[in-house]
Amino acid sequence: MKYQPKAILTFILFWGILSSLRAGDITVTIRYFDKRIYYIQETSGGASGGNVDPIYVQVTIANNSPSTYRFKLADERAFSVDFDIRTMTNRAVEAPERLIRKRTESRQVFFREVAVDSGESFSFVEDIRDYADLSRSGSFVVQAKLFPELLRPGEGAAETLESNRLSLSLRPPVLPGPGGIPLEMDAATNALLVREKLPPDQVIGYILTARQKSQWEKYFLYLDLESMISRDPVRRRQWLAESGEGRQRMLARYRTELQSSVIDGDIAAIPMDFEIERTTYNNEEGTVIVLEKFRIGNYTERRRYTYYLRRRDDVWTVADYSVVNLGTE
């Protein structure tokens, strides 16, 4: 049997592309989306099971091959990705029951095809608490597995692409401090952070300095997130309608969105310089007016912030704010 030169060339090109892909030109990498100190969840059942923040991991599929790479991405991400989380003794952490039910019940999996051109990448973010019952403190190793053709239970082993490994440290639940004020940990020093009885102007100075240094634990220490959520009428109605667990999820989501500047970007912006102009307060409420400067390209933008604080258990926290743009200089 004779092979046509064109067919031989096509086969050689196809085999070359396949060999290139097998050589590792399609890579999956993971990193923490917003690295912070993580705590165990109080009960099993995934992200919705405990009073804790999510552990967001960004999954990136990079195409270093000479051709376009295509894969299927399910609307329900549990059919496109999995996270293998193990203890330091190589013992796998069990999946939450609701994830197992989701994957084993008879259902139609909706997906879209993603095309990643040569030299480009595609990323999405997942909460690994949805994939593992992280109810014990300790050190763990996290690895992602991508299913390019989807995970289809009952149809045999699925094709997988494995990622790099991340180390994960989970601490015991945060304990309340004196007067019920929560204790936080400083990510840099691992020292306990406790709300102190600072006057309103020092509270604002503390928050702004923490933001300049990207010290999120300190930044959130004096923010009343419940009051900040209630600034928006839609979110306030949702807050009032939620259960206790639902409100905790709202707080965790709001904190994450604030960090990524998805919402309330003005208060999360990083000032290059600030000056406290005026402070007024009584026994329950306070107001601090601050002139803040921001570097925008080749210009310096000036904004005047008014922070509204409330006093509870002798501790001042920020409950609201407003901002006026003063132009550039």
Both structure tokens of 173: 């639940």
C-alpha to C-alpha distance for 78 and 46, rounded to whole angstroms? 13
C-alpha to C-alpha distance for 119 and 121, rounded to whole angstroms? 7
Are 291 and 275 a contacting pair, CB within 8 Å? yes
Both structure tokens of 95: 């999946």
Q: pTM higher than 0.85 for the full model?
A: no
C-alpha to C-alpha distance for 38 and 168, rounded to whole angstroms? 8
Both structure tokens of 104: 């084993």
Are 262 and 232 a contacting pair, CB within 8 Å? no
**Phi, psi angle pair for 277, to nearest 5°:** -90, -40
C-alpha to C-alpha distance for 309 and 321, rounded to whole angstroms? 9
pLDDT at 173: 65
Alpha helices in 21-116 (DSSP H): 97-104
Residue range 5-171 in CATH 2.60.40.2360: yes
C-alpha to C-alpha distance for 9 and 14, rounded to whole angstroms? 9
Q: Is 39 left (phi over 0), alpha (psi -120 to 50) or beta?
A: beta
C-alpha to C-alpha distance for 173 and 186, rounded to whole angstroms? 15
C-alpha to C-alpha distance for 324 and 310, rounded to whole angstroms? 21
Among candidate residues 192, 61, 178, the one with its CA nearest the CA of residue 118: 61
Domains 5-171 and 178-328 are alike in CATH topology: no
The CATH class, in words, for 178-328 is alpha beta
Q: How many residues does the chain have?
A: 329
Kindly give, in sequence order, each residue whose CB lies less than 8 Å from that of residue 126, ignoring residues fewer than 6 positions away. Answer: 56, 57, 59, 77, 81, 83
Alpha helices in the chain (DSSP H): 5-20, 97-104, 200-212, 216-221, 225-229, 233-241, 244-259, 265-268
DSSP 115-151: EE-TT-EEEEEEEGGGTS---S-EEEEEEEEE-TT--
pLDDT at 33: 86
pLDDT at 155: 64
Kindly give, in sequence order, each residue whose CB lies less than 8 Å from that of residue 205, ignoring residues fewer than 6 positions away. Answer: 276
Domain range annotation of the chain:
5-171, 178-328
Beta-strand relationship, 138-146 and 56-63? unpaired
pLDDT at 14: 44
Task: Please report, in tens digits, the pLDDT of each residue of the chain (329 residues total).
Answer: 444 444 444 443 444 444 334 446 899 999 998 777 788 865 433 333 444 678 999 999 999 999 999 999 999 999 999 999 999 999 999 999 889 888 888 778 899 999 999 999 999 999 999 999 998 888 999 999 999 999 876 665 678 899 999 999 988 765 554 444 445 555 555 566 778 889 999 999 999 998 998 888 888 889 888 888 888 888 888 888 888 777 878 888 888 888 776 666 678 888 999 999 999 999 999 999 999 999 888 889 999 999 999 998 889 999 999 999 999 88
What is each CA distance from 82 to 3, 157, 184, 317, in whole angstroms? 43, 14, 30, 40
pLDDT at 12: 39
